[in-house]
């Protein structure tokens, strides 16, 4: 697969603040690529530059062969963005929302516009609700309509900024299936930012973790998990008065490094999980230590994220609002 997006030595400054610091990244054509990062990490700035909403301070970004600075119009023909905040107009019907976007993207032929609108309604499963006001729709229905609106210009590349945030499990899974279809069946390149680490794990071919304007790691979910450790993770939540005692016992008996955070004891262990589970259980029983929870698991994307950024992934409403404002201004 060829590189459809190339980012070379990308720097973006806002006054004295360095939002992006020497970013280098390639995304393959047909790839479902995830971007993860805490608040202010640089995710939205990166997306803005790829989508020609913000100009870089230094470096070069090539999208489908077009330079985002030298030929932004070429980029706009090949890319679109679905923002975290649903962009449907509540006082317009589903049909009118799609028609409005078709007009904004220069589809002047009436027959073609009507065809695009019907395709969008079918994709969103809203044919029965085509002439109802979008403001009466559920959150899941509005999100599906927003996705269809973002695809009205048939982009080769679609950026999905927190597409499932705020959705219930049923609607989230339904949107996951649509994202997979966009990527695997329609061969679109999909860039996904998400606050749900399990979402990136389940959907993305590769994931970039960005923090403080720098890329901390890029790889498949499996490759990133190996950055944490090839070991198992032991996790114990004793009753509050026994945290220090359990920690000391584990260090003495098994010579393993202990971490305590939020009344939770964790440790890395290489070996047979059944053997160590039995030994720890016997030890706690002998010492008559009450435990609320005990588990042994493989590293998760949460562990990767915390190791690389030192924090749990957090949502950023202000970044999302800025992205929406930029997109609407461009249109």
CA distances from 127 to 23, 63, 134, 150 (A): 43, 34, 13, 17
**Segment holding 265, helix H or strand E:** strand 264-269
The candidate with the shortest Cα–Cα distance to 84, out of 315, 331, 240, is: 315
User: What token pair was written down for 220?
Assistant: 């498949």
Cα–Cα distance, 190 to 30 (Å, whole number): 7
Give the position of tokens 């589903």: 94
Structure confidence at residue 241 (pLDDT) = 93
CB atoms within 10 A of CB 108: 9
Q: What is the largest CA-CA distance in the chain?
A: 80
Would you say 323 and 269 are in contact if contact means Cβ atoms under 8 Å apart? no
- Compute CA distances 131 → 137, 143, 147, 227, 286, whole Å: 11, 17, 18, 51, 69
CA distance 200 to 202: 5
Least confident of 47-51, 257-261, 305-309: 305-309
Distance CA 160, CA 85 (A): 11
Q: What is the pLDDT of residues 65-116, one digit of tens each?
A: 999 999 999 999 999 999 877 789 999 999 999 999 999 999 999 999 999 9
pLDDT digits 0-9 by tens, 205-251: 999 999 999 999 999 998 998 887 777 899 999 999 999 999 999 99
Percent of the chain topping pLDDT 70: 94
Q: How many CA atoms lie within 13 A of 269 on its CB side?
A: 23
pTM, entire model: 0.80
Average pLDDT over residues 304-315: 70
Q: With beta carbons less than 8 A apart as the criterion, state whether 214 and 179 touch.
A: no
Contacts of 239 (CB under 8 A, 6+ apart): 289, 290, 291, 292
CA angle 59, 63, 67 (to 5 degrees): 50
Rounded-to-integer distance, Cα 305 and Cα 224, Å: 9
pLDDT at 271: 86
**DSSP SS3 for 187:** coil
Mean pLDDT of the chain: 90
Half-sphere CA count of 312, side-chain side, radius 13 A: 5
User: pLDDT band at residue 33, thresholds of 50, 70 and 90?
Assistant: very high
Helix 139-150 vs helix 94-104: crossing angle, to nearest 10: 20
């Amino acid at each position: 697969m060829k590189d459809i997006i190339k980012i070379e030595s990308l720097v973006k400054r806002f006054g004295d603040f360095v939002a992006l610091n020497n970013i280098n990244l390639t995304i393959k054509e047909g790839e479902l690529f995830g971007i993860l990062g805490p608040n202010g990490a640089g995710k939205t700035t990166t997306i803005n530059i790829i989508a020609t909403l913000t100009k870089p301070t230094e470096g070069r970004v090539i999208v489908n062969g077009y330079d985002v600075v030298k030929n932004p119009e070429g980029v706009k023909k090949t890319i679109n963005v679905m923002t975290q905040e649903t962009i449907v107009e509540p006082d317009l019907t589903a049909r009118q929302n799609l028609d409005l976007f078709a007009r904004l993207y220069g589809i002047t032929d009436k027959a073609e516009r009507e065809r695009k609108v019907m395709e969008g309604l079918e994709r969103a499963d809203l044919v029965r609700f085509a002439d109802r006001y979008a403001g009466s729709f559920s959150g899941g229905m509005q999100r599906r309509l927003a996705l269809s609106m973002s695809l009205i210009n048939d982009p080769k590349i679609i950026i999905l900024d927190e597409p499932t945030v705020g959705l219930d499990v049923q609607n989230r899974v339904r949107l996951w299936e649509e994202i997979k279809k966009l990527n695997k069946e329609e061969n679109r390149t999909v860039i996904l930012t998400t606050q749900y680490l399990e979402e990136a794990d389940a959907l993305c071919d590769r994931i970039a973790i960005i923090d403080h304007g720098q890329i901390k790691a890029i790889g498949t979910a499996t490759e990133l998990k190996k950055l944490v450790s090839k070991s198992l993770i032991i996790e114990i939540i004793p009753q509050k008065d026994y945290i220090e005692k359990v920690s000391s016992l584990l260090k003495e008996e098994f010579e393993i490094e202990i971490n305590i955070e939020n009344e939770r004891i964790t440790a890395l262990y290489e070996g047979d999980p059944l053997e160590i589970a039995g030994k720890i259980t016997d030890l706690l029983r002998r010492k008559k230590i009450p435990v609320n929870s005990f588990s042994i698991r493989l590293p998760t994307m949460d562990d990767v994220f915390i190791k690389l950024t030192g924090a749990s992934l957090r949502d950023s409403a202000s970044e999302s609002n800025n992205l929406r404002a930029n997109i609407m201004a461009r249109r």
